[in-house]
Structure 1
Amino acid sequence: MVAHPSQSSIVPSSTPEAAPAEALLPEQILAKLQQLPSEQQQQVLDFVDFLAHKHSPQPLQKTIWEKIDERMARIPPEEWEEMPTDASYQHDHYLYDMPKREV
Structure 2
Amino acid sequence: MKTKLNILIEKDESGYAASCSEIAGYKVTAKSLDVVVKNLQATIEDYLTQVSSTKKAEKSSQPIWAIAEDLIADLTESEKEQLPTDGAVQHDHYIYGTPKVD
Please tell me the TM-score bracket, short chain as reference.
Answer: 0.3 to 0.5
Q: With structure 2 as the length reference, what TM-score do the two structures score?
A: 0.33
Compare the two structures and name the one with the higher strand fraction: 2
Structure 1 or 2: more helix by fraction: 1
TM-score under structure 1 length normalisation: 0.32
